[in-house]
Amino acid sequence: MGELPNRKKIRLENYDYSSAGAYFITICTENRQKTLWNAVGADIIRLNCPPLSNEGKIVEKAILQIPDHYENVSVDKYCIMPDHVHLLLSFDASGRIISAPTLSNVVGSMKRWVSKQIGRPIWQKSFYEHSVRNQADYDEIWGYIENNPLKYCLQD
C-alpha cells in the first residue's frame, strides 16, 4: 500500500492558541451542504434571508453557550450562513485559569456538541482561523461578519 499524502498544516507552529487575543473562525459544513438555513420563509432580523433551520438553531445555541463553558472566551460576533459559520472569538488572559482552553478545544467541543445534538456529523474536518492583528483588522472582520448574510441574500 502507498503512503497517504501529508495533510497541509493550517495552524502556526509554536503559536499559543490559548493566549489572549481575538480570532476570526470559519467552520464549514461537510461537503458545503446548505443545511443551516431554511429554504423558504423570511426572518425580520435577517431581512429577506431565510430563517435558521433546526440545525442552524442548534448551531446558534452552541455558539451562544461558548462563554458558559469557557469563562475566558467571549463570542464578540457571529453569523450562521447556509453552509458555514463565522465567529469572532476573544480570549481573555485575566482571571485565574489553571488550564486555559486552546482555540482548537473551543471549536472542536462546539462542533462535537452540535453533531451529537443533530445525531450525525455535519462539519468538515478542521476550520479556518485568522489571528486578529490590531483594531483595524478586528473592525474589518466585524463588518465582514455583519454584512455577510445580507451580501449572500442579495446574490442572484
Instruction: Tell me what pLDDT residue 10 has.
Output: 45
* Dist. CA 35–CA 124, nearest whole Å: 13
The mean pLDDT value of the chain amounts to 84
The predicted pLDDT at position 101 comes to 84
User: Are 142 and 88 a contacting pair, CB within 8 Å?
Assistant: yes
C-alpha cell at 117: 445534538
Residues 76, 20 contacting (CB under 8 angstroms): no
78-89 average pLDDT score: 96
pLDDT in tens, 4-42: 555 444 444 554 445 678 999 999 999 999 999 986 544
Question: Tens digit of pLDDT for each residue in 92-135?
Answer: 876 555 667 889 999 999 999 999 999 999 999 999 999 999 99
Copy the grid coordinates of residue 35.
Answer: 443545511
Q: What is the pLDDT of residue 88?
A: 97
Predicted pLDDT at 11: 42
Determine contact, residues 23/132, Cβ cutoff 8 Å.
yes
Position 114: which residue type?
Answer: V
Q: Evaluate if pTM is beyond 0.75.
A: yes
Domains of the chain: 21-91+100-153 (3.30.70.1290)
128-131: strand order across its sheet: 73-80, 84-91, 21-28, 128-131
